[in-house]
Structure 1
Amino acid sequence: MVWDDLYASAFERVRRSIESIERVLLAYNTNIDALKYLRQKDLEDRVEKAGKDEVLRYADKLPKRIDNVPQLLGSILWSIKRGKAAELFVESCSTRFYMRQWGWDELRMGGQVGIMANLLGGVYGVPVIAHVPQLSSLQASLFKDGPIYVPKIENGQLGLVHPKEFNAEEESCIHYIYEFPRGFRVFDLEAPRENRFIGSADDYNPNLYIRPEFREHFDEIASNVELAIISGLQALTKENYLGPLRIVKEHIETLNGKNVPVHLEFAFTPDERVRKAILGLLDNFWSVGLNEVELASIMEVMGEKKLAEKLLLGDPADPIAVTEAMLTLAEKTGVRRVHFHTYGYYLALTDYRGEFVRDALLFAALAAAAKAKLGDVRSIEDVIKAMDVPVTEGAKTVEEILIRKYGMKDGIADVDSYQLTFIPTKIVDKPKSTVGIGDTISSSAFVGEFALR
């Protein structure tokens, strides 16, 4: 089997069919990303000035949220040391001011909803209805042209307009993203792979602010969509999660009542109580997407401590441990699809079967490689420009393990009552950016799968 041939055919199938998707609901988090590309001397100087010993405490163990500058710098070192992404809410005004003074190299669309809206609507031409917590003129300007809509109430009636036509001067929600390349060195730490740390400095997304248009007209909005992707639950805390998650549950139940498949894009959730609450909602979802850090955090609250540890031991993550964790999650929650993405390979565990699952993953991987290679994907034709990116060599070992364990053939195997689907990914050696790649993967795979049905 030649993976490049499968990649090419999967791209053609999805490109021909993706416009059949009529409308996708995206909720709840959108913001502005302020990207800072880290420089060794600058970061080392800042660590020394903030107190190196204090900073290094947090390089070993992440705080639950950021209350001071040493915690911010230590959390950045935590990500560099492991080559893993993390995101924490920045509580203190003085630390927010510090980040603003540190500055940024560029501003981009941020938030899972914003990134997915620009991809699905602005690149693939799939109509989307997006929840945008705060629609400042700057936020609106970051949306691509295309069938991207936000609800607007005029004369008591629900309408749909492009964000640029919403015409409201609301507050900007800014997240500070500290990017580093593979091999980035700071003191005696070296990044094993490229990634980033995110300091969230807005008060709307962490409280899961839901606009009145969505609260009051959700039934009508839900009647106009074919699929839904939910994200942005990760910054909730034990102090504020009950009310928002109650509304989220009502929204999911409304979508289920209209037979709309709903995907949850999971993200690292520091608060254990919130993680348990989100886990309790999973039986309402069709699908969930996560990486090894996020899957390990879910296993922890499910009482699978040893399995959680196994997930974080290897690089790439041990596929047998990943499969066991996916099975545990699916069997205990009833979620029909678990999509796992990590550096080098993706897996999907589904309670249904078909090559379309694999083809959707291949399309998603090609889109992710295109984003890494080009920085910004402007059209669906840009996706094919990643075909010359090589399939990662490291995934061969993963595939061999899955063949021996499950008898996998052409990336597909039967595991208990589920189909397990594997693909090796294409790795861009020097990506222009890693921000939004996970959202590109998950939304492309979920929507691509339904397009191929």
Structure 2
Amino acid sequence: MDWREFTGAFKDMSFYLAYNTNVDAIVYLTPEKVQALIEEFGADNVRKRIEEYPRQIDEPLDFVARLVHALKTGKPNAVPMFDQSLNNWFDGHFKYDVERIGGQVGIIANILASLDFKRVIAYSPLLGKKQAEMFVDRPNLFYPVVENEMLAFKPPREAYREDDPVKINRIFEFRKGMRFRLGEEEIEVPFSGRFIVSSRPTELRIETRDELRPFLPQIGESVDGIILSGYQGIKRHYPDGKTDDYYIARARRDIELLKKNHDVKVHIEFASIQDKELRKKVVRELFPMADSVGMDEAEIAHVLNVMGYPDLSDRIFNYNRIEDVVLGGKIILDEANLEILQIHTIYYIMYIARSSNPLKEEELRSSLELATVLAATRASLGDITRPEDLAVGEKVPYNERGEYVKLRFEEARKRIRTRGYKIVIIPTRLVKNPVSTVGLGDTISAGAFASYLALLRRKGVL
């Protein structure tokens, strides 16, 4: 199937998405701005804090250190900020170039609705007015509410709650080739990407509100697929005495309820979790309840680390060899008992499934192709507003390492055991001057999972 056939199939498909939405406040970094931040805190102080590698933003120097580290490596990253008093420092130091919907649910909901899916139900436990107004105004996009003890669906712009706070993530976009100095060291950014300061307001809970939970079985039987994300927003401890264990248990129960009346396919979109113990709990407790998981190469390394494969994790993190990613992907697929694993990197996208998967390798490849066309479209235009926009992404060429990726993949197949698995890989379509890189991984995963389900439906196995 090509993208036109997929978008035709999408018109008969419905999705439920939960849990995380926010406002993305985007800054397009300049060398001058980075240099000013380094000079404000001092190169030696920044360098020392980089070596300490803070796992969360507790003061401005933590931010500057992690930002410079991201620029040096050219790798996208996200670090949480729990202390909301730092908002004033950020707002005083930066003018935001763009404010738009963020969070995996927010980004994916707007994309699926704009691709004319039959129905897209997007849920977030917090829905302030500013957040609600950032959802696209489409007749197929809904927010679930309970009215008169009955399940109802409203456009998000009509479902907001005045008292709900708005979660704001600050995103710092950087471009390949940007140069600045850290003391005597001259740094050139190797890849375009973004660094995210992810706000964690006290009121945020990654959960389904109690009034809606009894209706999850009804929601689950009304959709073709479910995408769950946002577990990186769970905290270890809460002011009311609850812990991460409480919310992980609720997350497990949510999946059980969604599947109660209908064995609907569930995809978990994984995102970087800085806390190692929390990451281990999400992997051990939630992955086995999903059918599909999506992640990037840094995230696969972090997952393998908490699964007990530190050496393989280090190899992927430091060298990113395809054969190590394949080996690691097989481990995750088997230990979590997944139906399919999707891995996206800057240069390629990969599926790993068992040989018993009902789709042929060429069908899986067409699903990945749809995903990379979708991401190229979003990178080119900034937003996708209609299915026909995908013609733009289709014209974007594969990245310059595409042939090398294919060659290394074939070499990897000879080195490691792949019998019993279906493993397919395609190069990404890389936009040279992207309008934005935010949400491209989410776009790939959503496109891959939706097209995967469309192919299963066509075969009559869904």
- Give TM-score scaled by structure 2 length: 0.90
| 1:412-451 equivalent positions in 2, closer than 5 A | 415-451=418-454
Q: 2:224 aligns with which of 223, 226, 245?
A: 226
The code of the aligned residue for 1:374 comes to L
Q: 1:183 aligns with which of 168, 177, 181?
A: 177
The code of the aligned residue for 2:159 comes to F
* Other-structure match for 2:459: none
* Other-structure match for 2:314: 309
**Preserved CA contact (<8 Å) 1:26 1:230:** yes
Pair 1:256-2:259 in alignment: yes
DSSP-derived class of the 1:313 partner = helix
What CA distance in whole angstroms lies between the structure 2 residues aligned with 1:255 and 1:415? 33
Pair 1:173-2:167 in alignment: yes
**Preserved CA contact (<8 Å) 1:109 1:139:** yes
The code of the aligned residue for 1:211 comes to R
Q: More displaced, 139-148 or 108-117?
A: 139-148
What CA distance in whole angstroms lies between the structure 2 residues aligned with 1:104 and 1:161? 31
DSSP-derived class of the 1:128 partner = strand
**Preserved CA contact (<8 Å) 2:208 2:254:** no
What CA distance in whole angstroms lies between the structure 2 residues aligned with 1:32 and 1:247? 25
Please report how far the alpha carbon of residue 121 of structure 1 lies from its aligned counterpart in structure 2 after TM superposition: 1.4
Pair 1:398-2:405 in alignment: yes
The code of the aligned residue for 1:383 comes to L
Q: Which runs of 5+ in 1 are unaligned?
A: 1-8
**Preserved CA contact (<8 Å) 2:218 2:258:** no
Q: Give the fraction of aligned pairs with identical amino acids, expressed as a percent.
A: 30
**Preserved CA contact (<8 Å) 1:20 1:451:** no
C-alpha change, 1:309 and 1:407, in structure 2 (3 Å) is: closer
- Give TM-score scaled by structure 1 length: 0.92
DSSP-derived class of the 1:20 partner = coil
The code of the aligned residue for 2:265 comes to P
Q: CA RMSD in A?
A: 2.0
The code of the aligned residue for 1:292 comes to E
Please report how far the alpha carbon of residue 330 of structure 1 lies from its aligned counterpart in structure 2 after TM superposition: 1.1
Please report how far the alpha carbon of residue 356 of structure 1 lies from its aligned counterpart in structure 2 after TM superposition: 2.2
Q: 1:362 aligns with which of 362, 369, 377?
A: 369
C-alpha change, 1:222 and 1:184, in structure 2 (3 Å) is: same
What CA distance in whole angstroms lies between the structure 1 residues aligned with 2:265 and 2:334? 18
Q: 1:268 aligns with which of 261, 272, 277?
A: 272
The code of the aligned residue for 1:345 comes to Y
The code of the aligned residue for 2:391 comes to I
Q: 2:54 aligns with which of 55, 63, 67?
A: 63
Q: 2:291 aligns with which of 286, 290, 308?
A: 286
C-alpha change, 1:182 and 1:154, in structure 2 (3 Å) is: same
1:329-355: per-residue Cα shift (whole Å, max 9, x none)? 112121111100001111100121412
What CA distance in whole angstroms lies between the structure 2 residues aligned with 1:107 and 1:332? 40
1:423-445: per-residue Cα shift (whole Å, max 9, x none)? 11110001010011111000010
C-alpha change, 1:204 and 1:111, in structure 2 (3 Å) is: farther
What CA distance in whole angstroms lies between the structure 2 residues aligned with 1:124 and 1:414? 41
Q: More displaced, 68-77 or 347-356?
A: 347-356
* Other-structure match for 1:372: 379
| 1:105-120 equivalent positions in 2, closer than 5 A | 105-120=97-112
* Other-structure match for 1:152: 145
What CA distance in whole angstroms lies between the structure 1 residues aligned with 2:203 and 2:450? 24
Q: 1:237 aligns with which of 220, 235, 238?
A: 235
C-alpha change, 1:404 and 1:232, in structure 2 (3 Å) is: same
**Preserved CA contact (<8 Å) 2:217 2:259:** no
Q: Which runs of 5+ in 2 are unaligned?
A: 238-242, 457-462
1:129-164: per-residue Cα shift (whole Å, max 9, x none)? 111232222111111122111111222221001101
* Displaced runs of 4 or more, over 6 A: none
- How many residues are matched? 438
* Other-structure match for 1:26: 17
* Other-structure match for 1:95: 86
